Structure 1
Amino acid sequence: MEYTELEVWKESRVLVNLIYQTSKSFPKEETYGLTSQIRRCSVSIPSNIAEGCGRRTSADTIQFLHVSRGSLYELETQLYVALDQNYLNEENFNQLKVQILKCKKLINGFIKYYKNNN
């Protein structure tokens, strides 16, 4: 199966798009700070899933899936910072948290699948 067909990759792209839409409203002084960091972090999630799927060994794939999961936790923390700074309202924050949780569950399931079947 091609990585572009994986639900975990597709849902992480949804998250990236939500992050880009949401971060457009962040203050201009955060362009090279939190805005850039949040965007780069979100992009790393599907990127590491793709790179892991392109590796030739299960161990390498699992390692990149762990990196992707770590980026999800990093992104979640950065969104708490954005909330604390009033760059996000509760509604936007909660919408992003729902998508993050969905991605966490999918990545955890994919890691478990790889560990049990490869």
Structure 2
Amino acid sequence: MKDFRELKVWEKAHRLTLVVYRNTAAFPREEMYGLTSQLRRATSSIPANLAEGCGRSGDAGFARFCTIALGSASEVEYHLLLARDLNLLKPKEFKDLTRRTTEAKRMLTSLIQKLKAPG
């Protein structure tokens, strides 16, 4: 069993989640159960799946949860685009969140490749 807190990608994903929560706090009240909820859920799913995967035995099980986290990161990318196009995110916020999401996706992809590499 691995300690998820020791993973750099978990730390990046956790920080991304905190920033998303701060940014979405300013979203309109009518989006509370819409885009705000969807964006927060998708973002928090990234570090949550990494944590759950660390509790599984073996690299194959961990890789599966990393792949789920990667899918959540792609979902975040879309929700960020939607928030930008609805003028809920300022261009600077959008750029920062997109950069952080892309960085997490790169790290997840690298980790998945490492886990699936022949021993």
Structures share a fold, TM > 0.5? yes
Q: What is the deviation of 1:39?
A: 0.5
RMSD: 1.1
Structure 2 match to 1:8: 9
Structure-to-structure mapping, 1:88-99, within 5 angstroms = 88-99=89-100
Moved more, 64-73 or 101-110: 101-110
Q: If the length of structure 1 is used for normalisation, what is the TM-score? A: 0.95
Q: What is the deviation of 1:68?
A: 0.1
Q: If the length of structure 2 is used for normalisation, what is the TM-score? A: 0.94
Aligned residues: 118
Q: What is the deviation of 1:105?
A: 1.1
Q: What is the deviation of 1:57?
A: 2.6
What secondary structure, in the 3-state scheme, does the structure 1 residue paired with 2:89 have?
coil
Structure 2 match to 1:101: 102
The question of 1:76 aligning with 2:77 is answered yes
What is the letter of the counterpart of residue 26 of structure 2?
A: S
Structure 1 unmatched ranges of 5 or more: none
The question of 1:20 aligning with 2:21 is answered yes
What is the letter of the counterpart of residue 59 of structure 1?
A: A
What secondary structure, in the 3-state scheme, does the structure 1 residue paired with 2:117 have?
helix
Deviations 1:79-112 (A, max 9, x none): 1111111001111000001101110111111111
Deviations 1:19-54 (A, max 9, x none): 001001100100111101110111100000111111
Q: Which runs of 4+ in 1 moved over 2 A?
A: none
Deviations 1:59-78 (A, max 9, x none): 21111100000000001101
What secondary structure, in the 3-state scheme, does the structure 2 residue paired with 1:16 have?
helix
Structure 2 match to 1:112: 113
